[in-house]
Amino acid sequence: MVVRDLSFSETRPPRDFRAAAPDTPQVPLAPVTDRFIAMILDFLILSPVVSFCVAGILRNLKTVLLLNSDSEEAVVIWALFVVGIVAISSLLQAFFIYFWQATPGQKFLQLEIVSYPQPLSEHRKLTFAQSFLRPLGWWLGTGLMGVPFLEILGHPLRRAFHERVSDTLVISHKQEPVDIPLAVETRYISSTLWIFFGFMFVMGIALMGKAYKAALLEGLAGKKALSQAFCPAISTEVYQGQKRLDIALAMYLADEADDACVYTEAQKAVWNLEGEEKALGNLAMAVITEDEKQAAAYQSRVCVDSEKSEACAISKYLQSKDQDKGNLLRRAGLGLVSSRLLLLKDSMDLANYASAVGLIKDLETEMPLKNFLNKKLVKAAWILNAEAGKKNSRVPASADEKQIVQEFKKRYEIE
């Protein structure tokens, strides 16, 4: 089939084209190629509007999928995303069909949607129900892998499912109507549709039986928890929101978690939050990113998002080579677990064990860090005890250091 001229013709053709078969109404049917091109034009024109309307849902969906694609929240947002696309695109098409009796692409190609079997001579305006049912039926056909659209090739009036459900017909205002499909084409398309829907019915019955059997054997009827943390060590009951990202970053700095754990929490903050939370998300991405340029880019955004935030202080601490850089964290308030853990490591490196043990006691309530804290406590007590046992120790142990050793021995029942 040759693609006809896409520009508007100078004259409108008569509506009494001779049909290919005696029992076929004399109507100027729209060419298949024109309808296909009109669909592409409609997609290019309407998809940016639909994308803009569902952008917020898409951002939340990406965040939830990063955290846990099997969660109940992901299922709900997926459903909202799909329903949003269908509803908004259907309303847009219904608007154009109701007022223009054509979508923008169809209008450009001189196609028109009319009521059928309403006589063409009456040219009755479409109702809003017809205008809205047509795109809804189109989406249903799309959900069935587009197979119902084959009727456009085989139906005597080029009417697919979505046109028959809305009592509409697409006609052309060009000089030549499309040729009526041959009888063999109609029979072939009809047989294909019967086979397809029969296959879909059998598959549906099989899947329902399998799901029912699984529900009986495994007790999946509302009993299986769908919400699970990506990082098993971080409890969803104890840690929520920014606290989750903070503890994930602290665990990474303590070598108690991998970068995938931090990545999921950081992406949620970067995409979905503002201010201090977003600054902490960019900081976490800078810490786990191996590429130096990308890490530097994330570092540069931390203080831009919130210059007075503790995340900004941590960023400056990590980039500083000053021996007293721990003061950057102290001035920020040490509200984050990540700040206290970094200061703990700094105190251990500077052999300030009294300060280190104080931070260990402060962090003991954070159960995911228990392993790391116990190692640091053992190391601090071991070094202090070894130094106290030296006869020629240059610096006598302070009262705090002696108390640390005594408490450690008492805690682990060491004589």
Note the pLDDT of residue 4.
43
For the entire predicted model, the pTM comes to: 0.47
Note the pLDDT of residue 213.
60
Residues with Cβ within 8 Å of 35's Cβ and at least 6 positions away in sequence, in order, are: 106, 111, 152, 158, 170
Closest by CA to 335, choosing from 280, 255, 375, 262, is 280
Note the pLDDT of residue 20.
41
Note the pLDDT of residue 95.
92
CA distance 214 to 220: 7
Closest by CA to 397, choosing from 412, 408, 386, is 386
CA distance 241 to 257: 18
Residue-level pLDDT, tens digit, the chain, 415 residues? 444 444 434 333 334 434 444 444 456 888 888 888 889 888 988 888 888 887 776 666 666 555 555 556 667 777 887 888 888 889 999 999 999 899 998 888 889 998 887 765 556 678 888 899 999 999 988 888 888 888 888 888 888 888 989 889 898 887 665 456 666 667 767 777 778 777 887 787 777 766 666 555 444 333 333 334 456 667 777 787 788 888 888 888 888 888 888 887 787 777 655 778 888 888 888 888 888 888 888 888 888 867 788 889 898 888 888 878 888 888 888 889 888 989 888 888 888 888 888 888 888 888 888 888 888 888 888 887 777 666 555 455 566 667 777 776 676 666 5
Note the pLDDT of residue 70.
58
Residues with Cβ within 8 Å of 297's Cβ and at least 6 positions away in sequence, in order, are: none
Note the pLDDT of residue 96.
92
CA distance 409 to 403: 10
115 - beta bridge partners?
Answer: 168
Note the pLDDT of residue 134.
92
Note the pLDDT of residue 91.
92
